[in-house]
Amino acid sequence: MRLVILTQDDPFYLARNIDYFLKKLPPYAEVVATVVFDVSPFGKRESFTDKMKKTYEIFGLPFFIRYGFKYLRSKLDSRNNVRKVLADRGIPFIEIEGNINKDENLEKIRSYKPDLLVSIAGNQIFKRKLLDVATHGCVNLHTALLPKYRGLMPSFWVLKNGETHTGVSVFFVDEGIDSGPILVQKKVEIGNRSQEQLIKDTKLIGMDAIIESIEKIHSGNYELIANDASQMTYFSFPTREDVRAFQAAGKRFY
């Protein structure tokens, strides 16, 4: 099975998880290429300066300092570099211009003859033409129990809202937002985890869930779980007021 990964150059969590994912891939699955998007933590493309300014304004000075130092450390540690992890395994990069759905970008991806697209924090909206490039379409990891908590930063919202459990969902991507039918879902007790620990744990569990999804697609033996739109909730990026409520509820970022 020929896989193309769609991911982003996240400096905090993704590199080690992608390395874990690649090590655990079954022998019949091969990553033939990858697209690495620019990082967009706020759900849209912004300059590095704008990202820094927003992080400070929304999350406050202690958070800004902590993650500023984590960012600098990540630049010095190749284990946190998504491109380095992929390059070390000889996986080709598909360099795209602008939106991934442009015809010229689709042709580049199509040239690798993918059986399946695997989105791991892919941060662009995928249109039907892209989804049809691969024989089996595209699967995506979302670190929440869909149909609840569609959208951005579910780890923040489940803590703020006092949930006792969260989880991961791997689903077939359609043209909606986190709305496609679910292949694998795993429930996780939140306990006293901070947001940082919750992100680390659910992303790692998510890698195993993606591998399980690939195994199911390869065998052709699976039953889809409905991603019921009537039960959905959707959350965008938090505001400064949301962060104050998060902290007032005794929740921790780290």
Chunk the chain into consecutive blocks of 10 residues (it has 254) and report each block's average pLDDT, rounded to whole numbers.
96 94 98 91 68 94 94 85 95 95 98 98 95 98 98 97 98 97 98 98 98 98 96 97 98 97
pLDDT of residue 77: 85
CA distance 242 to 157: 9
Sign of the CA dihedral running 40, 44, 48, 54: negative
Domain-embedded: residue 71: yes
Domain-embedded: residue 100: yes
pLDDT of residue 208: 98
pLDDT of residue 204: 97
Chain segment 170-182, per-residue pLDDT in tens: 999 999 999 999 9
Domain-embedded: residue 75: yes
Domain-embedded: residue 253: no
* The pair of three-digit structure tokens given for residue 40, joined into one six-digit string: 């967009």
Domain-embedded: residue 40: yes
- Cβ(152)–Cβ(235) below 8 Å: yes
Domain-embedded: residue 164: yes
CA distance 143 to 140: 10
Residue 96, domain CATH: 3.40.50.170
pTM: 0.93
pLDDT of residue 220: 96
Domain-embedded: residue 254: no
Q: How many domains does the chain have?
A: 1
Helix (H) or strand (E) holding 155: helix 154-160
Structural domain span for residue 77: 2-248
CA distance 65 to 46: 20
Give the closest residue to 251 by CA, choosing from 131, 136, 158, 120.
158
Provide long-range contacts, Cβ within 8 A and 24+ apart, for 213-219. Answer: 213/139, 213/170, 213/183, 213/184, 214/1, 214/3, 214/25, 214/26, 214/29, 214/116, 214/118, 214/139, 215/26, 216/183, 216/184, 217/1, 217/116, 217/136, 217/139, 217/183, 218/1, 218/26, 218/28, 218/29
CA distance 139 to 219: 16
Domain-embedded: residue 189: yes
